[in-house]
Amino acid sequence: MKAPKSMTEFLKLGRKKIEILWQKKGQKNYPTLIFLHEGLGCIKMWKDFPWRIAQKTGCPFLVYSRFGYGNSDPCPLPWKINFMHKEALRILPDIIKETQIKDHVLIGHSDGGSIGIIYAGSPRSNGLKGLITIAAHVFCERITVDCIQQAKTNYDRHNLKQRLEKYHGINTDNAFWGWNDVWLNPNFINWNIEKYLNKIKVPMLAIQGKEDQYGTPRQVEAIKEQVTHIQTHLIDNCRHAAHLEQPERLLNITTQFIDQTILQNMRF
C-alpha cells in the first residue's frame, strides 16, 4: 500500500512548517514508529516502507521531511557541521512534543540513523522504546567522502539534480548543497558520535548492506562494541538503501525486532 497524497500535512514549529505523514491508527498503546530519512531523502523517498512495517506490527507511524527537504520550509545555507546534533537534540524533540507522541521507536536511514543515535544517547529521549538504524554513520570514513564527492560531480554534470527535483522541488538545491557541503568540509573528517553509543539504554538494531558504497562494516562493528542491548545484520547483495534494494529482507528483520524485542518487553 502506498501512502495517499492526501495524508501529507504540515506541522508548525515556531514560524516554520515541516511536512509530515502521520498514520495515527494502530494497536492501543503501541509505540509510534518515527522515520528519519537519509541525507538526500524525504517522505516520498521512503516509498511504501513505513506503511508496510506499520501493517505488520500494528504500530502507528510518523514520517517527516527535515527542514530543507521535500515540501518542508527551507533550511538556510550553509549548514553547520553539527547539523545532525541540532536535528536530534532540538528539532526531533520539538516534533515529538508538538505531536504529543509518547512511546516511540526511531527508524533512521544513513544521516537519519546517525540522528537517531545522537537522540537515543541523549537526555532528550524520554519515551524512546527502541532504535533501528539502516546504514548509519558514527564516524566519517574516506569511502564516504569519496562517494559524496562523486555525488557532487553527478549533480553538477549529470542528471542527479533532475532526479532529485521530483522529490524536493524548489528545495532541491537547498537539500543537496546543505548536505554535500557539510560532508565535504575538510573538518568533517573528524566528525564522530561514538560518545553517544554507550549511553543508549533501549534495544537497538543496526543494519547495513554488505556492499554499502557510503561506509564499511566498521560502522556496525563500532556500534556493536559500544551498545549493550544490540542486534546487528549485514545484508547480502545490498548497498546503501536497503529499503529500496532489499525491501523484503529488511521488512522481515525490522518487524521481527519490533515484535520480539520491543513489543514483548512493553506492558500494555
Looking up residue 153, the CATH number of its domain turns out to be 3.40.50.1820
Q: What share of the chain is helix, strand, coil (3-state, %, to 5)?
A: 45, 20, 35
Give the count of alpha carbons within 13 A of 21, CB side only: 26
**φ, ψ of residue 109 in degrees (nearest 5):** -110, 125
Contact 112, 40 (CB under 8 A): no
pLDDT in tens, 173-207: 999 999 999 999 999 999 999 999 999 999 999 99
The pLDDT-based confidence of 68 (bands split at 50, 70, 90) is very high
In percent, the amount of the chain with pLDDT more than 90 equals 94
Three-state SS string across 210-235, please? Answer: CCCCCCCCHHHHHHHHHCCCEEEEEE
Q: Report the sign of the C-alpha dihedral through residues 220, 255, 88, 177, in that order.
A: positive
What is the structure's pLDDT at 267? 66
State how many domains the chain has. 1
Torsion on CA atoms 113, 116, 118, 124, rounded to nearest 10 = 170
Mean pLDDT computed over 131-141:
98
Domain that holds residue 17: 5-265
Average per-residue pLDDT for the chain: 95
Could you give the 3-state DSSP secondary structure of residue 40? coil
Q: From CA 210, how far away is CA 140, in angstroms rounded?
A: 18
**Consecutive H or E run containing 62:** strand 61-64
**φ, ψ of residue 195 in degrees (nearest 5):** -65, -20
